[in-house]
Structure 1
Amino acid sequence: MQKRMLVPPDLLALAYPGDIAVSPNGELVAYTVTRLDQDKDESKTDLYLFEFGSGNSRRLTYGGKEGKGCFSPDSSRLAFVSGRDGKSQIYIIELAFGGEPWRLTTEENVAGNLCWFPCGTRLAYSAKVFSQEEGWQPYPGAPEGDSARLKHLADKPHADKQPEPDKKENLVKVVTRFSYRRDGSGYFGDVREHVFVREVPIVPPQSPLPAEGRRITSGDFDYTSCDVSPDGSCIVTSARRSKDADYVLARDLWVFPVDGGTEELLYAAPSPTSNPRFSPCGEYVSFLGHAGESATSTTTGLYLLPFFGQDRCAHSDAIAVTKPIDRPALPGGFWQGKRFVFPLADQGCVHIYAASVDGTVEALLAAQQTSYLSLAGAGKTLAYIKGRFDLLEEIWASREGAERALTAHNMQATAELLLAPAEHIAFVSEDGQALDGWLLLPPDQAEQTVHPLMLFIHGGPHGWYGPRFMLDAQVFAALGYAVLLTNPRGSESYGQRFADIIDGNWGDLDCGDVLAGVKAVNARGVIDQSKLFAQGWSYGGYLACWLVTRTTEFNAVCAGAPVSNLLSGYGTSDITLADEREYGGSPWESAPQMLRSSPVTFADRVETPFMLMHGENDLRCPVSQSEEFYTALKRQGKDAVLIRYPGESHGLKRPLHRLDKLTRQIAWFEYHRRR
């Protein structure tokens, strides 16, 4: 079969494997697959199961709104959260018998964090509920009945939804908290996330179960991520339990008894903690966190904490396992006997490591220019998505040193498509900093051909590029572009100093670094210096805006969801504390510096044709940031266009919008390429 080039509609044809779970006996792998439904303009996610015994994979659900699976201790059941009936609930599949999942009904909309008890007859989960006590008033002097109205709104699945046309309802929002909304979910008011426990019938019910669920945690606080102790007596969870919780980063670890008793502080953290996990013997708790030296820019590490029981929560010093490595540990780790297996990012790649309770760390899977994503494991099985630039995503597994692909959801596309391999390149900035990135050349053209250059700029700013399939990059390579992806200073996975050196000084070192990458590729003689293009999203959008205020060498640039004015952007985002660190302070402290780092301040220098794209419901980098830069350019008669996506938040979700973005970018760049 003659292979063809990747085209934008392939976005809708590919399958996207996602969350993975491995059964406790290591013989089953449950995973999600997302597909984009063009007709309904929505993404649909369902669960699949791979069995090592048969070597086959089968589809478990057809609801289209399924979350990650969670195996029961005996590996016979799979629990998951689904929004299939309009309310987020727990469902259970009897794996031995098949059939439809049955619903484990709760009063609350379940947020996730499913965790079985060792007995197999209980499940812990998290749910977002109204957190205020009886007699609460939203603020002194609030109208009578306002507290009841707000509680009614909080109990709705979606507090931002509009009233039905024939029903009049007061949906006025009252804001008194510093943190009151989140990108992608909107206004949450006085709703907090708590941990609940639900009894699970041994035998599947013959009729719908009554709504039940017992709240374990307490107070007007958020509890995120949890785990059940090996004896089932207590739960460990992460929380900010203070009156000024919205203003601090620290998130402590707490232990709650399941059947009565008082909670105990397990670990007073200097910074956020997450993903606590009991060791199988119950003698340790692993978690992700950091010491907070660089506030929100501090590299997250793996910690191991001795645990002496819920009645003796001595505040032990946690072992900072990955501190000497100076690389970020990522979520997805699990205990394997007396060692903890976890993903760790290093120079753009994600490898799999194991940490022993004595603090020693060793690499388990660290292939060159490969990433191991969405890690899960149990027993002798490691399961993951294998990431390379020229490899469509599938679920893979490693067992006793032997690796194999478990799935073939993209088998037809793999047979049809000619993908561009990536070359890892190294170069040096003007001030001598060692840098690297990846170069994708058109896969079907002669080696001596010169190509227009497409520079991709990642978001974050502490994100990074690394080996994994990137559809947008492959599409532009298929169109004949040389595609450059770099990790400038500010990127994670290169060490703490490399990541936080740009804090409070955006646009200086980072801009010079991406331009050094362009210069290095140009020196290879593979690009047409007269045809340079660039694009980026989020912080990448910011740097795209900044780029055109510093150079006129690009023919056209596209910025998606950027920040263009750090001063006016303050307080309009859902991550204000992080913004203070990134921007270098607050308006009353650092206004001159914030304006000096704002692209809109230098909009008079822009001579490059410029496209802006933005979701109209973006709460991370509000659409007003694109509006400001667009208006500044248009007011001066410059070549600019603004594309607005209705209903979208920081990242585009609807299939038609995602396809429109890619198609519109291609048309824009191709027009300027031909000029």
Structure 2
Amino acid sequence: MRPICHLAFFLAVTHSLLILAAEPTRLVPEDIYKLAGPQLTVASPKTGAAAVIYRRVDQTSKQERFALGWSDSEGYRLLEKDEPDARNVAVSPDGKWLAVRSTRLRPQGWKQIPATPLQSDVATDIWLVSTDGKQAIPLAGPEKPYGRVFNDPFYGRVAFSPDGKRLVFVADDGVDPRTKEEIEADVYVDRPDQGEGYTGYGTARIWVAELKEEPGDFAASNFLKVTNDDVWYGDPQWTPDSKWLVVHANKTNDVEAVRFSINKNYDIFLIEVATTRQHQLTFGPGPEVSPRLHPDGEHLICLSSPRKGPHADVFNLQWVDFTVAGFGKPSAVNLFDHHAELTVEPPHSIPTFPLPDPCWDGESAVIYSTLVGVENKTIRVEIESAKGIELNVGEDYSNNELSPAVRQVTLSKKYSPPSNPILKERFIAVDHVLRWKNEGLELEGVLTLPPREIAKRPYPLVLYPHGGPHSRSSKGFGATAHVLAHAGYAVFQPNFRGSTGYGKKFLDADRNDLGGGDMRDILAGIEHLKQEKLIDPDRQFVFGSSYGGFMTTWLIGHTRQFRAAVAQNAVTDMNVMWGLSDIQSWTQYELSGLPWEVPERMHERSPYSHVQKVTTPTLLVHSHDDRRVPLPMSRMYHQALLARGVPTQLVIYPDEGHGIRQPKHQVDVLRRTLAWFATHDNRPAAHSSGR
């Protein structure tokens, strides 16, 4: 009970315990406001405890709050009074300080953090907070030399040097990129940036702060800008001697947005901090990213792909051998090539981005996360043999001889406070793994059935296809699927061809065939559900976002079996997608050409080209500032449905990017989706998979 008591700062436990004594109820859209839990748990091997970033929703403003906590054998507790914002955290080598990225205001009269638009990543600065919570000190003084500190998983990283004397971080310069004349004319020239999530940010640069022995009013005595060109650098890692950094960066002219799309020619570079000279360590044609230095400081492991291909690719583990002092040409070799034609069972599964930090288990093995079908697993791989085994975290968390990587996993597991305590007050909707066959493929997906207290089979069906297409659905609580299940629907999330977690051949299986084989995989899965008498064939609905929105609008243009549809941030036209999206490579790769090179394919594979066949009532919801799948596609599709007399509505969410993140907007989407389905539940469907 002790950890629960420590959450009383903001979980109103007394009230919750009273509710727990009552009968459970169904999950509803408004419960989005009550979801809470740890977003990040970072172990402190020195102290045997963990720093925690805890997310909740403020019940008055309905906005997300992120707070810094500390978890140890005494339980979990908030570390800072009044919960000042905390987005990310790194622990000092001596375990006494936490480097926290935060949006909190700097002292009055000091230079503040330059703002970013609400739909973009929040702009943060760095504060040093003592692990006893008694001190919170800004990193820089009144006139800080940098602008916005990156807080994303690709570029942004904050790390203490091994000797604890310096701090590396990634930040832009915080200046207006416009010329004096452009500012006077109040115009903006379209300049390349990193697209979705990075609106308002300048070039990502590597900075090193020299830390004071006694912080005083601020923590750093001096700053060094380690990179100062037009290249975006990210994920800096210290060598053991605290003199060098390794980073990843794309120095070619083929530059594009990187959010959820790591498919350009990124390489690994070594940088001497004192002189800022650089040495290139990898030379592959595709991305080498997520460098993790070996304890000897002369080798590293990274993720690598030999191609500039799909937006989410299959990565190899690449072992890079270099010598800091000699600057001989490094050698790089894959532990196993998952891109080769496989004649044997791979010795280890495909790693996911990013590699853990830390990831080294001693000097001979690495630990990483992997997707295996609908499962998430942790794997340990021996470098010499490339053999991987699933890591089952033990219960002996007191062993100080464990490697930093294993201690990070075990301590994080032990000291993470519970997620979503509200679910204890709700009926249980159970996820099931569904397997079926189609066209020689073994397929699987996730089926979430309504709680037995709410509905009985056969259930009305909501098809909920994932985005990507190179993503996947997995087991575990998801608010959208479980709210729909609590409304009485069986929710089907199929991992159709093109999904990740099933190897390269399966990933590539829908190239040049978007809406073809993947649609047939989905329809075969629905047929399997009908044969098992799990669903009511007369009551089928579909709801998808991004590529799931593509599949939603594609299905209603090629079938008559859905009573109603909801498409969120949907790809509806390939020419518009290429012309307006921040990732032209998505359309070029998936359809093998530019719009003027493959015009027939661009036309044929666009849901908009088949809108004249749509009769299904369709609700379109879209973020106003989506740079990945821009709003005009939903406007076009909506206008076409209006012209044809199809029941439709378009709802636009301001200050949102590709993912609708604000809780009040998430609640609104779910409310509208349920209302749309209920309104059209009596509409007959023809159950035809033909055109």
Fold shared by both chains (TM-score > 0.5): yes
Per the alignment, residue 6 of structure 2 pairs with none
Residues 243 and 291 of structure 1: CA distance in aligned 2, closer, same or farther (over 3 Å): closer
Give the stretch that moved more between structures: 220-229 or 298-307.
298-307
Q: Are the aligned partners of 2:624 and 2:656 in contact in 1 as well (CA < 8 Å)?
A: yes
**Structure 2 residue aligned with 1:107:** 145
CA distance in 2, matches of 1:38, 1:585: 49
Q: How far apart are residue 38 of structure 1 and its match?
A: 4.7
Give the 5 Å matches for 1:252-651.
252-260=267-275, 262-292=277-307, 294=309, 296-321=311-336, 323=338, 324=346, 325=348, 327-333=350-356, 334-338=359-363, 339-365=365-391, 378=404, 380-383=406-409, 397=413, 404=414, 406-408=416-418, 410-411=420-421, 413-429=422-438, 431-445=439-453, 449-651=457-659
Equivalent residue for 1:126?
170
1:197 correspondence with 2:208: yes
**Structure 1 pair 126–474 and aligned structure 2 pair: CA distance change class (3 A):** same
- Residue identity matched to 2:149: V
> How far did residue 307 of structure 1 move?
2.9
| Equivalent AA in structure 1 for residue 301 of structure 2 | S
Summarize deviations over 1:514-546 as a string: whole Å, max 9, x none. Answer: 111111111111211100011000010010000
Shift of 1:441: 1.5
Change in Cα spacing, 1:313 to 1:93, as seen in structure 2 (3 Å) is farther
2-structure distance, mates of 1:250, 1:293: 7
Q: Pick from 163, 173, 198: which aligns with 1:185?
A: 198
Q: What is the CA deviation profile of residues 172-221 of structure 1, one whole-angstrom value per residue up to 9, with x for unaligned ones?
A: 21125xx4351233255xx311111001122231x246884211124221
CA distance in 2, matches of 1:477, 1:243: 47
Structure 1 residue 80: deviation in Å?
1.6
Please give the alpha-carbon distance, in whole angstroms, between the structure 2 residues aligned to 1:241 and 1:311: 23
Contact 2:464–2:543 (Cα < 8 Å) also in 1: yes
Aligned to 1:20: 41
Q: Which runs of 5+ in 2 are unaligned?
A: 1-20, 106-111, 114-123, 151-155, 258-262, 339-345, 394-401, 684-691
CA, structure 1 residues 237+39, in 2 after alignment: closer, same or farther (shift >3 Å)?
Answer: same
Task: Look up the SS of the partner of 1:570 in the other structure.
Answer: helix
The alpha carbon displacement at 1:131 in A equals 10
Q: How many Å apart are 1:249 and its aligned residue?
A: 1.5
User: Per the alignment, do residues 432 and 493 of structure 1 end up closer, same or farther by CA in structure 2, a change over 3 Å counting?
Assistant: same
Q: What is the Cα deviation at residue 446 of structure 1?
A: 8.7
Q: Return the alpha-carbon distance in structure 2 between the equivalents of residues 326 and 299 of structure 1.
A: 10
* Aligned amino acid, residue 199 of structure 1: E
| Mean CA deviation greater in 309-318 or 509-518 | 309-318
Q: State the shift of 1:408 in Å.
A: 3.0
Amino acid at match of 1:342: Y
Which residue does 1:228 correspond to in 2? 238
Question: Matched residues in 2 for 1:114 and 1:452: separation?
Answer: 48
2:179 alignment partner, one of 128, 132, 147: 147
Deviation at 1:57, TM superposition (A): 4.2
* SS of corresponding position for 2:661: coil
Check whether the contact 1:228–1:234 (CA below 8 A) recurs between aligned residues: yes
Shift, 1:44, TM fit:
1.4
Q: Structure 1 stretch 600-609 or stretch 18-27: which is displaced more?
A: 18-27
CA contact (8 A) 1:459 1:538 kept: yes
For residues 335-366 of structure 1, give each alpha carbon's deviation from its aligned partner in whole angstroms, at most 9, with x where no partner exists.
22122111011112110011222142323337
2:380 alignment partner AA: A
8 Å contact from structure 1 (residues 222, 239) kept in 2: yes
User: Are the aligned partners of 2:211 and 2:221 in contact in 1 as well (CA < 8 Å)?
Assistant: no
1:63-102 matches, within 5 Å, as 63-85=83-105, 87=113, 88-95=124-131, 97-102=132-137
The amino acid of 1:348's aligned partner reads: V
User: Could you say if the C-alpha distance between residues 32 and 584 of structure 1 is closer, same or farther in structure 2, counting changes exceeding 3 Å?
Assistant: same
- Does the residue aligned with 1:650 lie in a helix, a strand or coil? coil
* CA shift for structure 1 position 30: 1.6
TM-score of the aligned structures, taking structure 2 as reference length: 0.83
| Contact 2:69–2:79 under 8 Å retained in 1 | yes
Q: Describe the SS at the equivalent of 2:597.
A: helix
Cα separation, partners in 2 of 1:185 and 1:546, compared to 1, 3 Å:
same
Instruction: Provide the rounded CA distance (Å) in 1 between the counterparts of 2:578 and 2:253.
Output: 23
Distance 1:618 1:310, change over 3 A: farther
Question: Identity of counterpart residues, as a percentage?
Answer: 27
Q: Distance in 1 between matches of 2:157 and 2:88?
A: 9
Shift of residue 328, structure 1, vs aligned partner: 4.1
Q: Tell whether the 8 Å contact from 2:209 to 2:223 is kept in structure 1 after alignment.
A: yes
**In structure 2, do the counterparts of structure 1 residues 519 and 256 end up closer, same or farther at CA, with 3 Å as the change threshold?**
same
Q: Secondary structure at the match of 1:618?
A: coil
Query: Partners in 2 of 1:379 and 1:261 — Cα distance?
Result: 29
1:92 maps to a residue whose letter is L
Residue 401 (structure 1) aligns with: none
Residue 7 (structure 2) aligns with:
none
Q: Alignment partner of 2:467: what SS?
A: coil
Change (3 A) 1:94 1:65: closer
1:91 aligned partner, one-letter code: W
1:577-607 CA-to-partner distances (Å, cap 9, x unmatched) read 2331123321121111011000110111111
Q: Which amino acid aligns with 1:436?
A: E
Matching residue's letter, 1:340: V
Whole-angstrom CA distance in 2 between matches of 1:260 and 1:317? 26
RMSD over aligned CA atoms reads 2.6
Q: Is the 1:327–1:494 Cα contact (8 Å) retained in structure 2?
A: no
Query: Partner of 1:42 in structure 2?
Result: 63
Give the aligned residue type for 2:166. R
**Which residue in 1 is equivalent to 2:119?**
none
1:143 maps to: none
Given that residues 87 and 100 in structure 2 are in contact (C-alpha distance below 8 angstroms), is that contact kept between their aligned partners in structure 1? yes
Q: Which runs of 5+ in 1 are unaligned?
A: 133-137, 139-145, 154-168, 368-375, 385-394, 398-403
Indicate how the Cα distance of structure 1 residues 601 and 309 shifts in structure 2: closer, same or farther if over 3 A, else same.
same
Query: In the superposition, relative to structure 1, how do residues 550 and 582 fare at CA in structure 2: closer, same or farther (>3 Å)?
Result: same
CA distance in 1, matches of 2:412, 2:250: 37
For the structure 1 residues 326 and 605, does the alpha-carbon distance in structure 2 shift closer, same or farther, using more than 3 Å as the test? farther
| Greater percentage in strand | 1
The one-letter code sitting in structure 1 at the alignment partner of 2:99 is A
Task: Identify the match of residue 175 of structure 1 among 187, 190, 198.
Answer: 190
Cα distance in 2 for residues equivalent to 1:295 and 1:498: 12
